[in-house]
Amino acid sequence: SAVISQKPSRDICQRGTSLTIQCQVDSQVTMMFWYRQQPGQSLTLIATANQGSEATYESGFVIDKFPISRPNLTFSTLTVSNMSPEDSSIYLCSVIAPRTDTQYFGPGTRLTVL
């Protein structure tokens, strides 16, 4: 398995500001993923972050709005830029555990934008 931590666990932010979410894994992993879960909804993949390359974004998500860093094999950040109330969601990172196809998720960051 993989143990994943995220910071912050929750935050309340003002419109127009940015928030950077950190994701730390207890083992080296090639692929890390960032998902968004809007209130009462299911999860939607934002992007895939591989170490040493640019993140790959899904349709509807752009780098200017959700810049991602992946400086090493155990860490990634997602920034939610120029926030609006529509960005209020839970943001979750996930990884594929080494030598498996199982995808494990972090505890999530609950973001509220006023």
Partner 1 sequence: SQQGEEDPQALSIQEGENATMNCSYKTSINNLQWYRQNSGRGLVHLILIRSNEREKHSGRLRVTLDTSKKSSSLLITASRAADTASYFCATDAEDYGNNRLAFGKGNQVVVIP
Kindly list the residues in this chain that would bind partner 1 in the complex (CB under 8 A): 1, 31, 33, 37, 41-45, 48, 58-59, 90, 92, 94, 96, 100-108, 110
| Phi and psi angles of residue 85, each rounded to the nearest 5 degrees, phi first | -55, -25
43 vs 73, which CB is nearer to partner 1? Answer: 43
**Smallest gap from residue 32 Cβ to partner 1 (A):** 11
CB of 67 to partner 1, least distance (A): 19
CB of 16 vs partner 1, minimal distance in Å: 25
- In the complex with partner 1, the residue whose CB is nearer, 11 or 58, is 58
What are the backbone angles phi and psi of residue 97, rounded to the nearest 5°? -65, 140
Of the pair 64, 101, the CB lying nearest partner 1 is at 101
Sequence-ordered strand ranges (E) for the chain: 4-7, 10-13, 19-25, 31-37, 43-50, 56-57, 68-72, 75-80, 89-96, 103-105, 109-113
Inter-residue contact 49 to 33 (CB < 8 Å): yes
